[in-house]
Amino acid sequence: MIEALRVALRRGGKKLLAGVDFHLGPGELVAVVGPNGAGKTSLIRILSGEYPPDSGTVQLDGVPLDRWSPRLLARRRAVLPQETSLDFPLSALEVALMGRMPHVRSSRDRQLALDALHQADAAHLAHRIYPTLSGGERQRVQLARVLCQLRDDSAPAQRYLLLDEPTAALDLAHQYTLLRTVRRLVGDGLGGLAILHDLNLAAQFADRIVVMAGGQIVTGGDPRTVLVPELIREVYAVDCVVTRHPCLAVPHVIPVPDARMGVGAHTTVPRTHD
């Protein structure tokens, strides 16, 4: 379990997180949503140990992150950043292989990297040069890298994957492929956290949705209880209708244009609660 207790973080005189309590357990996928500047990326930074919190503690398995060796920590949690630029001509396979860095070198590393590329639907990119790939292709290669990083058959332990807007650069098909892959790993016991902007994707894939605003956690819980029009209006200042997804037992959010914009002034707005 990764746990943040009363965490505060400031950078350059700016309060990024204030009094955040958060936990991520094995076998659950948590979606973090919220407007820009809500502190979502900062949450990933303190959960991964990249930034030490200014107050409060972050623990993995009850041990504060600063007491973990960076290498052992890296075997337990991986981070998929929003974007990873690279100015050097590494191949996709070489990038994926970097995921094996925290582990003891083995002759299986290459096969693990190829498997990971396959899982991330990037096997065909293996020998392409990373800087020549498109944004979406790069994101899939990075996913392969973090999957490769979390493969560890030598020691059974709970592992955690933190994804910062993983779907931002992906087309519709690959958004679903990526989240399905993560979902499957979560089914095998992985703890996953994903920052998502698409509330419907969050509703479809997450066990739990955490809503952030102004460096604080506003609410969190089952998508069906969290995604209600009042909250969405409060957090995003957007009116919407929440219906039931036509095929799935999850809520579906449909933003409604502001009446003042003059669009559909006579439209009746059905208020449907799940």
Partner 1 sequence: MNARVFAAAVAEPETQGDRSRRARWTLLALAAGLLAVAVLSLGQGALPVPPDRIVGILASAVGLGDAARFNHFEMHVVLHLRLPRLLLAMLVGSALAVSGAALQGLFRNPLADPGLVGVSAGAALGAVTVIVLGATWLHGMTAWLGIYTLPIAAFIGGLAATLLVYRLAQQGGYTPVATLLLAGIAINAVAGAGTGLLTFIADDQQLRSLTFWTMGSLGGASWSNLAAAAPLILLPMLALPVLAMAMNAFLLGESVAQHLGVRVEHIKILVVTLTAMAVGAAVAVSGIIGFVGLVVPHLLRLWMGPDHRYLLPGSALLGAFLLLLADLLARNVVAPAELPIGLITALVGGPFFLALLLRRRGMYS
Binding site for partner 1 (CB under 8 A): 11, 45, 48-50, 69-75, 77-79, 81, 84-91, 93-95, 98-99, 101-102, 107, 110, 127, 131-132, 149
| CA R_g for the chain | 20
**C-beta closer to partner 1: residue 75 or 140:** 75
Among the listed residues 190, 200, 191, the one whose alpha carbon sits nearest the alpha carbon of residue 167:
200
Q: Is 233 helix (H, G, I), strand (E, B) or coil?
A: helix
For 35, what's the count of Cα atoms within 13 Å in the CB-facing half-sphere? Answer: 11
**C-beta closer to partner 1: residue 155 or 237:** 155
- Beta carbon of residue 13, minimum distance to partner 1 (angstroms, whole number): 11
- Beta carbon of residue 81, minimum distance to partner 1 (angstroms, whole number): 7
- Dihedrals phi, psi of 255, to nearest 5 degrees: -65, 145
Residue located via tokens 């997450």:
206
As a whole number of angstroms, the distance between CA 217 and CA 116 comes to 33
List beta partners, residue 164: 195
As a whole number of angstroms, the distance between CA 259 and CA 274 comes to 24
Contact between 77 and 2 (Cβ < 8 Å): yes
- Beta carbon of residue 128, minimum distance to partner 1 (angstroms, whole number): 12
Q: Is 31 helix (H, G, I), strand (E, B) or coil?
A: strand
**C-beta closer to partner 1: residue 86 or 231:** 86
- Beta carbon of residue 102, minimum distance to partner 1 (angstroms, whole number): 4
Contact between 203 and 251 (Cβ < 8 Å): yes
- Beta carbon of residue 209, minimum distance to partner 1 (angstroms, whole number): 24
**C-beta closer to partner 1: residue 81 or 251:** 81
- Beta carbon of residue 32, minimum distance to partner 1 (angstroms, whole number): 18
